[in-house]
């Protein structure tokens, strides 16, 4: 097999390195006018693959067989959290993932529903006490 496939894979890896660097994971700090610094933190997922084959040449005089192949890849950057620096203290604020299923949405609604029920019951108790 020709060395074209290793060259193609190396080229794909170099292109991915150009697209993703450390600033993709820990972003550039953003400073607000009131002195708060916000630093984005992300998760980077990378995937690629490739394949190829040498073909038998119909020309007997050729020393090398023709090669056919391809390489593909992808990068996904997902925000995970923000680091918030204020007055010498650092807090991490996670980014909530959106609810994908009905069950997830119901679980997200439970605290709000409990707060509303509690407020309703408190209001009824106050009315009875008057």
Higher pLDDT, 61 or 127: 127
Residues 64 and 76 in one domain: yes
- The answer to whether 71 touches 9, Cβ cutoff 8 Å, is yes
Residue 111: which domain range? Answer: 98-130
| Domain match, 55 and 116 both | no
One domain for residues 109 and 71? no
Same domain, 88 and 104: no
In terms of domains, do 77 and 105 share one? no
Statement: the pTM of the whole predicted model exceeds 0.75: no
Q: Are residues 25 and 49 in the same domain?
A: yes
DSSP secondary structure of 58-127: S-TT-SS--EEEEEEEEEEEEEEEEEEEETTEEEEEEPPPPP-SHHHHHHHHHHHHHHHHHHHHHHHHHH
102 & 74 share domain: no
Residue 44 has pLDDT above 80, yes or no: yes
Tokens standing for residue 55: 């073909």
Domain match, 24 and 40 both? yes
Judgement on whether residues 63 and 121 belong to the same structural domain of the protein: no
Domain total in the chain: 2
129 & 91 share domain: no
At 76-112, the pLDDT tens digits run 888 889 999 998 899 988 887 766 777 777 777 777 8
pLDDT value at residue 14: 82
């Amino acid at each position: 097999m020709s060395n074209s496939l290793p060259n193609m894979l190396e080229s794909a890896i170099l292109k991915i390195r150009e697209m993703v660097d450390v600033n993709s994971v820990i972003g550039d700090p953003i400073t607000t006018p009131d002195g708060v610094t916000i630093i984005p933190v992300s998760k980077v997922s990378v995937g690629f693959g490739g394949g190829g084959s040498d073909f038998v040449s119909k020309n007997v005089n050729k020393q090398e067989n023709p090669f056919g192949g391809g390489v593909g890849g992808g990068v996904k950057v997902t925000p995970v959290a923000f680091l918030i620096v204020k007055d010498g203290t650092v807090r991490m604020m996670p980014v909530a993932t959106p609810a994908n299923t009905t069950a997830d949405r119901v679980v997200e609604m439970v605290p709000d529903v409990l707060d509303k029920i509690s407020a309703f019951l408190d209001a009824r108790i106050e009315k009875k006490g008057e």
